[in-house]
Amino acid sequence: MRGRRSLSAGIILLIVGAFSRFALAEDGASPSLGPTALPTAAAVINAIVAAPGLVDYEGTKVITAVRGDRVETITVLESHKRPSSLRLEYLSPESVSGRLIVDDGTTAWQYEPSLHTVIQGPSFVNKAPDATLFAEGLGHYAATIEGTEEVIGRETIVLAMAPAATGLSRRLWVDRATGVILRSEERTAREGVVFTAFFTRISYSLNLPAPLFSFRLPAGVRSFSFYLGSDLASGPQQLQQQAGFSTRTPAVLPLGYRYRHGTVTRFGPVVAATTTYSDGMSSVTIFQTPTSRMGLPRAGEVIRLPQGQGRVVDLGHFRILTWESRGMRMAAVGPLPAAELALLAGGFDATP
Amino acid sequence: MSHGRLERQLSAYLDGELSADDAAEVRLHLSQCPRCQREVERLQVLKQVLGALPERDAPVNLWVSVREQLQQPRSSLWERWMESLRTLGLGRRPVAAAAAVAVVLVLIAVPLVRGRLDRLRAADLGVDVYLREHVLVSSGDPFADRSYLGLVIGDSNLALIGEPRRAKEER
Q: How far is CA A298 from the centre of its chain?
A: 26
| pLDDT score at B91 | 62
User: Which residue in A172, A283, A289 is closest to B141 by CB distance?
Assistant: A283
Q: With 70 as the cut, is the pLDDT of residue B122 above it? A: yes
Determine the distance in angstroms separating the CA of B140 from the nearest CA of chain A, rounded to an integer.
Answer: 5
Cα A134–A135–A139 angle (5° rounding)?
Answer: 105
A-chain residues within 8 Å CB-CB of B148?
Answer: 63, 65, 74, 195, 197, 317
CA atoms lying within 13 Å on the CB side of residue A308:
9
- For B5, counting Cβ atoms within 10 Å of its Cβ (0-12 exposed, 13-18 middle, 19+ buried), the class is exposed
Number of A/B CB contacts below 8 angstroms equals 188
Q: What is the mean pLDDT of residues B12-18?
A: 86
Q: Which of B124, B132, B147 to mutate to test the interface with A (most CBs of A within 10 A)?
A: B147
How far is A126 from A103, CA to CA, in rounded Å?
A: 9
- Asked if ipTM goes beyond 0.90, one says no
β-partners of residue A219 are none
Cα A41–A47–A50 angle (5° rounding)?
Answer: 145
SS3 A88: strand
Q: Give residue A167's region: left, alpha or beta (phi > 0; psi -120 to 50).
A: left
Determine the distance in angstroms separating the CA of B112 from the nearest CA of chain A, rounded to an integer.
Answer: 12
| pLDDT score at A186 | 92
| pLDDT score at A36 | 67
**Nearest residue of chain B to residue A264 (CA atoms):** B133
How far is B80 from A54, CA to CA, in rounded Å?
A: 86
Question: Given CB atoms, is B170 within the 8 Å cutoff of chain A?
Answer: no
pLDDT tens string B64-118 = 887 877 777 666 777 777 777 677 766 667 777 788 888 888 888 777 777 777 7
Question: Given CB atoms, is B112 within the 8 Å cutoff of chain A?
Answer: no
How far is A146 from B83, CA to CA, in rounded Å?
A: 92
User: Which residue in A114, A281, A322 is closest to B142 by CB distance?
Assistant: A281
Has this prediction a pTM greater than 0.80?
no
Phi, psi of A119 (to 5 degrees): -120, 125
Question: Given CB atoms, is B127 within the 8 Å cutoff of chain A?
Answer: yes
Determine the distance in angstroms separating the CA of B103 from the nearest CA of chain A, rounded to an integer.
Answer: 26
Check CB contact under 8 Å for B140 and A129. yes
Of A51, A6, A60, A35, residue with least CA distance to A176: A35
| pLDDT score at B155 | 92
Q: Are A192 and A323 in contact (CB under 8 A)?
A: no
How far is A174 from A185, CA to CA, in rounded Å?
A: 12
Phi, psi of B34 (to 5 degrees): -60, -35
How far is A86 from A58, CA to CA, in rounded Å?
A: 10
Instruction: Quickly list H helices, B139-170.
Output: 146-160, 165-170
User: Which residue in A224, A294, A335 is closest to B122 by CB distance?
Assistant: A294
What parts of chain A have a pLDDT lower than 70? 1-36, 68, 126-128, 349-352
Determine the distance in angstroms separating the CA of A150 from the nearest CA of chain B, rounded to an integer.
Answer: 20
SS3 B143: coil
Burial A234-261 (b: 16+ CB within 10 A, else e): eeeeebbebbeeebbbbeebbebbeebb
Q: Which of B118, B129, B135 to mutate to test the interface with A (most CBs of A within 10 A)?
A: B129
Question: Given CB atoms, is B120 within the 8 Å cutoff of chain A?
Answer: yes
How far is A88 from B31, CA to CA, in rounded Å?
A: 108
**Nearest residue of chain A to residue B138 (CA atoms):** A283
Determine the distance in angstroms separating the CA of A10 from the nearest CA of chain B, rounded to an integer.
Answer: 27
Q: Give residue A238's region: left, alpha or beta (phi > 0; psi -120 to 50).
A: alpha
Determine the distance in angstroms separating the CA of A88 from the nearest CA of chain B, rounded to an integer.
Answer: 7
User: Which residue in A49, A95, A125 is closest to B169 by CB distance?
Assistant: A95
B-chain residues within 8 Å CB-CB of A295?
Answer: 119-120, 122-123
**Backbone CA torsion sign across A178, A179, A180, A185:** positive
How far is A126 from B153, CA to CA, in rounded Å?
A: 15
Q: Are A229 and A276 in contact (CB under 8 A)?
A: no
| pLDDT score at A35 | 62
Of A48, A50, A55, A45, residue with least CA distance to A22: A50
How far is A36 from A44, CA to CA, in rounded Å?
A: 14
SS3 A128: coil
Of A72, A73, A74, A65, residue with least CA distance to A316: A65
How far is A190 from A110, CA to CA, in rounded Å?
A: 34
| pLDDT score at A8 | 43
- For B34, counting Cβ atoms within 10 Å of its Cβ (0-12 exposed, 13-18 middle, 19+ buried), the class is exposed
| pLDDT score at A126 | 62
The amino acid that residue A160 corresponds to is A
SS3 A321: strand
DSSP assignment letter at A115: T
Q: Answer whether the bond into residue A83 is a cis peptide, omega within 30°.
A: yes
SS3 B171: coil
Give the pLDDT band (50/70/90) at residue B58.
Answer: confident
| pLDDT score at B117 | 79
